[in-house]
Structure 1
Amino acid sequence: MSGPSGRPTRAPRPGAGPLRVLQYGVHDTGYPRNVRVRAHLEGRLGASVVVAPRSRAAGRLRRAIEDVRSLVRGARRADVVLLSEFRLSHAPLAWLVARLQGAALVVDGFVGLHETAVDDWRRVSPASPAALRFRVLDAAAVRCADLYLIDTEPRAAEIVRRHGPSATVVPLAVGAPTWATRQPPAPPHDALRVLYYGGYIPLHGVDLVVDALTLIGTRRRVEVVLVGDGPARRAVEARVRRAGLGDRCTFVDAVPEGELLAHIARADVVLGVFGSSAKARGVVANKVWQGLACGRTVVTQRSSALDDVRCAAGGLLVQTEPASASSIADALVGAPLAHQAESPRDVAERLESVVQRSYDRFTDHLSALGPRRVHS
């Protein structure tokens, strides 16, 4: 039996055990993306998922050897090799090992190499050899996959347009973790409390938020808490001081994910993304899902990727015009306080339904690959 790339995959065998999946290259076993994928495979398909985390050995050569060993050993007993996010550079190796073992290869392209280094972090010049190398590796990851995962329809369409892959590209929604579905009560207060959290990457457009605060002026009393660290944090702090916004903005160091709920509980508004990159126009960020699931108003840049989310979230989702500080300012001036807003208690359930529909499509496409024991 052959998969979409024309290579052999294991045919079903009568009486065989559960689907066996090797999740390779996991950088953090607690990262929400790979946790949800793993839970779906185990819960919906009854799969046996073995995690082969990245080696933490001291030397680069030793890490590479240990990674290859864990991949080869795990693939011997796998029907599906699932290459996790942040590991696209290993796609050719994963393809080779999966092919030799007759397993299907599923690649999670949630975090592209070029978009991260060039567009998000801007650490690499777009015209540099390194940028070209990242483009080639991204393209190779798409070409190697039997099934390629991404997070939204616009990003899936862009991958198909750019690479024309033979593999099926499946949007797999990010969704909110369990802790973000508790809808914390908001204590009464007067000023609008706005929350940003993240790594100050260009994708988030924090500079545009600072410009919006300047435009608000005396129209409304707004207090902003910015949680997180990153190379651009000091520049943002300096920008806040120059704008005379020091009394409105509080900077807090990065906190564990489990502590985010306490910050969201004190907020009226959670900020999404306002960057100018192609990814910013096509992504639905973690913080958007989390803020909405907690029953908070989320202000973020307009995107067709938000269509399904908008239907589920209703008035809690406020979209601003791209690259417009004045649009952000108007959204904040008009945002309700959390304890006064009508926050539908079932919004988290509706959002989860959106996520589950995308995972159902994932199950259907995985079944169509024809590995040894894929069933629902």
Structure 2
Amino acid sequence: MSATDSAVTAEEKKVRVCYIAGREESYSRTRMILHGLRRAGYDVVTCLPADRSFKHYPNLLWDFIRKQRGCDLVVVGFYGQILFPFVWLLTRKPILYDVYISTYDTMIHDRGKGGSGGFKAKLFWWSDAISMRLANRIILETVDHIRDYATKFRVPESKFFHIFLATDEKVVARRQQKESNGKFLVHFHGEYAPFHGVQYILKAAAALSDQNVRFQIIGRGITYERDMRLAQDLKLKNCTFIDWVPFEELSDYMARADCCLGIFGDNPRTLRVLTNKVIESIAAGKPLITAKNEPVQELLADSESALLVERGNPQAIAEAILKLRDDPELRKRVAEQGHLVFLKNCTLDTFAKQLNTVIEEMLN
């Protein structure tokens, strides 16, 4: 069944979905889920905040009370852990949960906000466990992630449904490469967070300071100040740092690049994530370098559709960059194979079709 067939099926049934989430409509995951639901043909009503602040939650729940009454199904999106118990109490409709990111993993394993056995850790763990146990079905982007969450939070594996991350191929698309002044341009975009490992990118840049390689690094985040101090200490002259850019402009920056970077952090969270930037890089038809982990290897193969390196290793990043720079045929092959993987697994049409499959299972 094609995505078009899915859309027709949904419209014939006139299925109405209420989508409530803790992040605003412009947030990448919110945007993706809404695109998927609408492309699958569902009539979607939303309860969304203006920004990420928790202060909006009371109004969100009041909005939900009014809007969910005429709906056939509820989708709780990211960030949903705090909202979920209230949503569950306020509706008798089946609930699909886009858990996306674990609070426990983020706060304990990535940001170090407490020991694994402390009070905060238990609070974060229960916020994940309760929300997942109350859900009728849960979507996650990799099988490895599903196995990890099922074990860690004691949730039946059968409750999960695997859907790879996706991006809008009309926005992040293959484009003719723009001039980069004769230098090999390396691109990174994303949050400055421990699991992204920006510090290792900066150390790789330092190792390549005399190799005619330039880096453009886009974003902000919790490690930004620390990483900027490192950049100063390393006296980097081959890096351009850019604040967040609108999603619609991302392709313009990626089109200038010769290759793109994924994630390289050395903490446990790096082992469990795929990330949007990986999908966006192969959507743009760029050769990708990223850390080797199980989730990435569910989608990409080393030296075929990406170059996979040891996490937390700036020398490995630098060597992979030089390998792509010095081998145009490898660069072309990895870019083309990566883009084919994207077209097969990560387009919005594919995402919508799979989303429709799990929703139809829930309603039937």
Which sections of structure 2, spanning at least 5 residues, go unmatched? Answer: 1-10
Write the distance in 2 (CA, Å) between the matches of 1:125 and 1:254: 32
Tell me the equivalent position of 2:159.
Answer: 168
The yes-or-no answer on 1:50 pairing with 2:45 is: yes
Alignment of 1:304-343 (within 5 A): 304-310=294-300, 315-336=304-325, 341-342=331-332
1:365 matched to 2:361 = no
Deviation larger for 154-163 or 179-188:
179-188
Instruction: Spell out the pairing of 1:1-376 with structure 2 (5 A cutoff).
Output: 17-25=13-21, 27-44=23-40, 46-54=41-49, 60=55, 63-99=56-92, 103-124=93-114, 126-166=116-156, 168-177=159-168, 178-187=170-179, 189-216=181-208, 218=210, 220-244=211-235, 246-310=236-300, 315-336=304-325, 341-342=331-332, 348=339, 350-355=341-346, 360-370=353-363
Shift of the alpha carbon at 1:334? Answer: 0.7
Q: Conserved in 2, the CA contact under 8 Å of 1:318 and 1:331?
A: yes
Query: Is the CA contact (8 Å cut-off) linking 1:270 and 1:299 kept in structure 2?
Result: yes
2:191 is aligned with what amino acid?
G
| Partner deviation per Cα, 1:6-45 (whole Å, 9 max, x = no partner) | xxxxxxxxx984111100125221333233323333333x
Deviations 1:254-294 (A, max 9, x none): 22222222211111121100112333112111111111111
Residues in 2 aligned to 1:188 and 1:195: alpha-carbon distance in whole angstroms: 12
Residues 128-177 of structure 1: CA deviation (Å, up to 9, x unaligned)? 42232111100011101101112211111101122332461112221222
Would the aligned equivalents of 2:22 and 2:57 in 1 still touch at CA under 8 Å? no
Distance 2:14 2:327 in 1: 46
- Describe the shift of the 1:278–1:59 C-alpha distance in structure 2 as closer, same or farther (beyond 3 A): closer
Instruction: Return the offset for 1:110.
Output: 0.3
Q: For 2:52 and 2:38, locate their aligned partners in 1 and report how far apart those are by CA, in whole Å.
A: 29
CA offset digits 1:302-340 (Å, max 9, x no partner): 1221234326x9745111023322221210111137987
Distance 1:222 1:294 in 2: 20
Kindly state the Cα deviation for residue 125 of structure 1 after the two structures are TM-superposed.
5.0
SS state at 2:82 partner: helix
Counterparts of 2:34 and 2:51 in 1: how far apart (Å)? 22
Inter-partner Cα distance in structure 2 for 1:237 and 1:144: 42
Shift of 1:250: 1.9
Structure 1, unmatched stretches of 5+, are 1-14, 372-376
Contact between 1:181 and 1:348, CA under 8 Å: does it hold in 2? Answer: no
Contact 2:17–2:72 under 8 Å retained in 1: yes
SS at 1:180's partner residue? coil
Offset of residue 357 of structure 1 = 5.4
Cα distance in 2 between the residues matched to 1:143 and 1:209: 38
Equivalent AA in structure 2 for residue 275 of structure 1? G
Bigger mean CA offset, 48-57 vs 266-275: 48-57
Tell me whether 69-78 or 328-337 shows the greater mean CA deviation: 328-337
1:114·1:134 contact (CA, 8 Å) conserved in 2? Answer: yes
Q: TM-score, normalised by structure 2?
A: 0.85
Measured in 1, the distance between the counterparts of 2:208 and 2:82 equals 44
RMSD: 2.9
8 Å CA contact 1:55, 1:67 repeated in 2: no
Contact 2:125 2:153 in 1 (8 A): no
Change (3 A) 1:52 1:358: closer
**Distance 1:324-1:349 versus aligned 2 partners, 3 A rule:** closer
> 1:322, 1:345 → 2: CA distance?
24
Pair member with larger Rg: 1
